[in-house]
């Protein structure tokens, strides 16, 4: 009888223990179910990322390179030309090759040669010197956003982006001991088409074309040690336009990194500036300037052709 009672109490205790642990076990199972759901979503996102086609790009993108730039600037009967070396960089983000945003910039410097009259359309009364060359400084920066038209057809091996953007382009031309230097600045609003066609596992070809309308500023930059007027020599809101075309090759040397080279042609036209009056000081610091001389300067309609060859690396 005692043994039966002991067995009954033992079974009862075991039952109580199981009852006490039942709720935590249930809670643990509920937590596990929630974790499983979260894990499933996470795995799904990973799989989706891995399911990107080999040609699709996703995430951070960028490039850095150097360029050799031939610039030919024409105004009236004068041509100013030279070769600049430039540093170029861009960085942005691409969403599964559906859309992208890109920031870009470059700066270049190099000597130039002058063929024809200089100073241009005024200013010769200010100096007794003649000029055969000087230097170019070229700066560009801007951004663009684009949508891949090929994504409509899932044609990832041939991305065709329609882009819209804004950039600023500055070209300064300076010589030693001149009464003034000339700076051309344009703020450009452009529509662009750029494409990338995969040719193989490592090789792809790229191309680009854009057209832009611009708001230009032509500045006559003077030295306060030579010239009376150092302010008010800017001609603003001048109408301007331009276009650009380019072609290039990319060669992948790792999963994301690649070497690139491209050749671009660019044209910019700027209408004539407003007339400006410039006078020298009684004792100008620069050699060759005439004292107490005054002349009217008007920079006329001008055009600039850029031919750019670039090399660099991207990801």
CA-to-CA separations, 88 to 49, 64, 208, 221, in angstroms, rounded:
31, 6, 17, 26
Label the pairing between strands 99-115 and 276-279: unpaired
The confidence score (pLDDT) of residue 46 equals 46
In this predicted model, which residue has the larger pLDDT, 291 or 32?
A: 291
pLDDT-based confidence at residue 156 (cuts at 50, 70, 90): very high
Structural domain for 129, as ranges? 57-314
pLDDT-based confidence at residue 54 (cuts at 50, 70, 90): low
pLDDT-based confidence at residue 20 (cuts at 50, 70, 90): very low
Alpha-carbon distance 57 to 250, whole Å? 14
Q: Is the pLDDT of residue 1 over 80?
A: no
The confidence score (pLDDT) of residue 25 equals 45
The confidence score (pLDDT) of residue 32 equals 53
pLDDT-based confidence at residue 146 (cuts at 50, 70, 90): very high
pLDDT tens digits for range 186-211? 999 999 999 999 999 999 999 999 99
Tokens of 137: 């400084």
Q: Are 18 and 144 within one domain?
A: no
Q: Are 225 and 306 within one domain?
A: yes
The confidence score (pLDDT) of residue 14 equals 44
Instruction: Please name which of 210, 204, 194, 209 lies closest in space to residue 314, comparing C-alpha atoms.
Output: 204
Q: Are 37 and 63 within one domain?
A: no
Specify which residues 205 forms β-bridges with.
Answer: 197, 249
SS3 state of residue 186: strand
pLDDT tens digits for range 90-117? 999 999 999 999 999 999 999 999 999 9
CB 123 within 8 A of CB 78: no
Q: Are 168 and 268 within one domain?
A: yes
Looking at residue 278, which CATH number applies to its domain? 2.40.128.100
Q: DSSP string of 235-283?
A: EEEEEEEEEEEEEEEEEESSSS-EEEEEEEEEEEEE-----EEEEB-SS
pTM of the model: 0.82
pLDDT-based confidence at residue 36 (cuts at 50, 70, 90): low
Q: Are 25 and 64 within one domain?
A: no
In this predicted model, which residue has the larger pLDDT, 174 or 168?
A: 168
Q: Are 90 and 239 within one domain?
A: yes
Q: Are 93 and 223 within one domain?
A: yes
pLDDT tens digits for range 205-258? 999 999 999 999 999 999 999 999 999 999 999 999 999 999 999 999 998 999
Q: Are 260 and 161 within one domain?
A: yes
Q: Are 22 and 168 within one domain?
A: no
Alpha-carbon distance 223 to 278, whole Å? 11
CB 117 within 8 A of CB 79: no
Q: Are 204 and 77 within one domain?
A: yes
The stretch 158-169 carries a mean pLDDT of 98
Q: Are 45 and 135 within one domain?
A: no
Q: How many CB atoms lie within 10 A of CB 58?
A: 13
Domain count, the chain: 2
> Which segment, 9-13, 147-151, 176-180, is predicted with the most confidence on average?
147-151
The confidence score (pLDDT) of residue 37 equals 56
Q: Are 237 and 146 within one domain?
A: yes
Instruction: Please name which of 149, 122, 138 lies closest in space to residue 233, comparing C-alpha atoms.
Output: 122
């Amino acid at each position: 009888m005692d043994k039966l009672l002991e067995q009954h109490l033992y079974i009862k205790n075991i039952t109580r223990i199981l009852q006490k642990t039942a709720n935590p076990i249930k809670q643990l199972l509920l937590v596990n179910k929630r974790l499983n759901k979260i894990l499933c979503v996470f795995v799904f996102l990973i799989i989706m990322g891995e399911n990107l086609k080999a040609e699709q790009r996703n995430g951070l993108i960028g490039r850095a390179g150097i360029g050799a730039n031939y610039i030919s600037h024409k105004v009236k009967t004068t041509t100013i030309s030279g070769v600049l070396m430039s540093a170029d960089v861009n960085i942005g983000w691409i969403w599964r090759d559906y859309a992208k945003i890109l920031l870009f910039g470059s700066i270049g410097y190099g000597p130039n040669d002058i063929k024809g009259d200089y100073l241009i359309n005024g200013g010769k009364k200010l100096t007794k010197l003649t000029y055969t060359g000087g230097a170019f400084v070229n700066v560009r920066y801007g951004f663009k956003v684009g949508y891949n038209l090929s994504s409509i057809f899932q044609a990832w091996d041939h991305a065709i982006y329609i882009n819209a953007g804004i950039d600023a382009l500055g070209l300064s031309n300076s010589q030693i001991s001149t009464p003034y230097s000339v700076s051309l600045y344009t703020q450009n609003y452009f529509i662009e088409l750029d494409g990338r066609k995969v040719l193989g596992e490592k090789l792809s070809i790229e191309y680009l074309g854009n057209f832009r309308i611009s708001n230009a500023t032509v500045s006559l930059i003077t030295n306060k040690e030579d010239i009376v007027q150092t302010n008010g020599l800017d001609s603003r809101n001048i109408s301007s336009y331009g276009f650009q075309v380019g072609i290039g090759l990319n060669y992948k040397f790792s999963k994301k990194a690649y070497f690139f080279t491209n050749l671009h042609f660019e044209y910019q036209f700027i209408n004539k500036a407003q007339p400006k009056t410039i006078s020298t000081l009684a004792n100008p610091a620069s050699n060759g300037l005439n004292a107490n001389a005054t002349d009217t300067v008007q920079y006329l309609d001008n055009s600039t052709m850029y031919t750019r060859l670039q090399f660099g690396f991207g990801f």
